[in-house]
Amino acid sequence: PEKMDHDQQQLRNLRDFLLVYNRMTEICFQRCTSNMNYRNLTMDEEKCVDSCAGKLIRSNHRLMGTYVQLMPRIVQKRSSQFTGQSTFLPSPMVMNSGS
């Protein structure tokens, strides 16, 4: 079971990576390519793609860094909320059948 969970997590990570990669490719392609008459990119298109991809990769790294910093706080907050809720569960309602 533990290996299965690890394999599933790896598949989810690969899927997430491919989604980001495909989205980045779409954005940079739409933004940078204009001439479909040639098999290769022009110099301007190549520079644009490099710049676009670099910007998106830096943004992604920054976002992931923020996520890594904030995640422990979020987990702690949820954990304390959960433990707080479990100690204050309402008592079960008793139905009065004599009414």
Over residues 2-48, the pLDDT tens digits come to: 777 888 888 998 999 999 999 999 999 999 998 888 899 999 999 99
Judge whether residue 90 has pLDDT over 60: no
**What's the fold here for domain 2-75?**
Helix Hairpins (1.10.287)
Q: Tell me how far apart the alpha carbons of residues 57 and 16 are, in angstroms, rounded to a whole number.
A: 14
pLDDT of residue 99: 43
At 93, the pLDDT band (50, 70, 90 cuts) reads: low
DSSP count for the chain of H helices, then E strands: 2, 0
34 closest CA partner among 42, 25, 26, 23:
42
